[in-house]
Amino acid sequence: EKEGFACFMEKEIFEQPESIARTLSGRLDLEYATGKLGGLNMTSRELLAVKRIKIVAAGTSWHAGLVGAYLIETLARIPASAELSSELRYRNSVVEPDTIYFAVTQSGETADTLYAMRELKRKGARVLGICNVVGSTIARESDGGVYTHAGPEIAVASTKAFTSQLAVFYVFALLMARMRDMSVSAGQRFVKELQGIPEKVREVLKQRDHIQALAKKYYKARDFLFLGRGLEYPVALEGALKLKEISYIHAEGYSAGEIKHGPIALVNEETPSVFLVPRDYLREKVISNMKEIKARKGPIIALCTEGDAEVAAIADDIIPVPAVDELFYPFILIIPLQLFAYFCALELGRDVDQPRNLAKSVTVE
Ligand code: M6R
């Protein structure tokens, strides 16, 4: 039940410190500084032979896959990419023997992802599942995989399933990296940082009232841009999707580096941009993208690391988040975006848990 929250989405947003901890539970080994994912049904030798990783998914799960691919390639030095299942299914994709696939899905019943998986399996691919619903069709038909253990997700808009999918990818990337490039000490730092994420998420959730006030200030806008780069690019896509789904406000997620190639034409006094600009190696680049928007009088809400005075000076409003290692910001930055979408929907009197035209699991093509 809703346990005192106004709706399931709110409850599920606030559950994330616990749901992420559940996903990680028993899967991190501090002594050997690695991840443990027995359900993959693959020996270390088989994992070592993997040359490429491809991820298929839809919607929010695809966004988690984009983060996962980036992380795996960065840490484990294995080429990795994420593709929409609805696209992969109908193209004649090449399956190579040393490639493994992940089908990522909360429900485990999404038709596009299921049929993509069946197509891949027919071609001889090894397809692993990252599923939340135990015993779901994709979980049953996959060659192995990982349950996210986020607990039941009732609201149509996916929130805790997303952060749990991220957590699985962080564990998997660690496991693969430690078999290749990553030292024990770097691995231990990574494990500690990952174990600390639930607590950081709890801290971010304390900004509830501040984010609600921002929603009250901005919810009348007709269009929003959500902008980030690197690992924060998929987070921008996810923030835009959340706002669209439940508030019906038009929002576009873009790479901040891409705005000058078209979307900047949309910017005026009435089109706010939400920037993801944590302290990472792309911060300077994103700051210059913020200045481009500012020069065109676009209002800016910036999600930045606490104490970042330079960003605060450019933005109209900021949502400060605690500092984490730069690879871990997706966990921390998606939380304010979920809350922002939720509070905008509330202001507009929308049915948050059951938005129009949408179903929790999309079992038709
Ligand atoms: O159950 P799945 O993760 O396979 O669902 C995929 C998408 O349908 C889903 O993420 C959808 O985009 C959500 N409504 C997003 O909030």
Q: Is the pLDDT of residue 1 over 90?
A: no
Q: Is the pLDDT of residue 3 over 90?
A: no
Residue 139 Cβ inside 6 Å of ligand 1? The answer reads: no
Per DSSP, the residues of 137-179 read HHHHHSSSEEE-------SSS-SHHHHHHHHHHHHHHHHHHHT
Q: Is the pLDDT of residue 356 over 90?
A: no
Nearest atom, ligand 1, residue 361 CA: 1
ipTM of predicted complex: 0.98
Identify the residue whose C-alpha is closest to ligand 1 atom 14. 157
Residue 99 Cβ inside 6 Å of ligand 1? The answer reads: no
Mean pLDDT for the chain overall: 96
- State residue 252 phi and psi, 5-degree precision: -125, 135
Active site residue 242: no
Q: Is the pLDDT of residue 225 over 90?
A: yes
Residue 158 Cβ inside 6 Å of ligand 1? The answer reads: yes
Looking at 36, 121, 294, 360, which residue is catalytic? Answer: 360
Mean pLDDT in residue range 286-292: 96
134-149 pLDDT per residue, tens:
999 999 999 999 999 9
Residue 65 Cβ inside 6 Å of ligand 1? The answer reads: no
Which three-class secondary structure state does DSSP give residue 250? strand
Q: Distance from the CA of 57 to the center of ligand 1, in angstroms?
A: 9
Q: Distance from the CA of 361 to the center of ligand 1, in angstroms?
A: 7
Q: Is the pLDDT of residue 365 over 90?
A: no
61-75 pLDDT per residue, tens:
999 999 999 999 999
1 or 285: which leads in pLDDT? 285
237-280 pLDDT per residue, tens:
999 999 999 999 999 999 999 999 988 889 999 999 999 999 99
Please count the other Cβ atoms lying within 10 Å of the Cβ belonging to residue 154.
15
pTM over 0.90: yes
| Token pair belonging to 26 | 């028993």
Q: Which of 98, 99, 97, 50 is nearest to 83 (CA)?
A: 99
4-24 pLDDT per residue, tens:
898 999 999 999 999 999 999
Confidence of residue 351 (pLDDT cuts 50, 70, 90): confident
Q: Distance from the CA of 157 to the center of ligand 1, in angstroms?
A: 7
Residue 297's pLDDT is: 95
Residue 364's pLDDT is: 82
Q: Distance from the CA of 60 to the center of ligand 1, in angstroms?
A: 5
Which three-class secondary structure state does DSSP give residue 294? helix
Kindly list the distances between the CA atom of residue 116 and the CA atoms of 12, 134, 214, 352, in Å, as whole numbers in the listed order: 29, 20, 40, 30
Residue 256's pLDDT is: 94
To test the pocket of ligand 1, the residue of 60, 86, 357 to mutate (highest count of ligand atoms within 8 Å of its CB) is: 60
Residue 142 Cβ inside 6 Å of ligand 1? The answer reads: no
For residue 81, give the H/E element and its range.
Answer: strand 80-84
Q: What share of the chain is helix, strand, coil (3-state, %, to 5)?
A: 50, 15, 35
The residue type of 333 is L
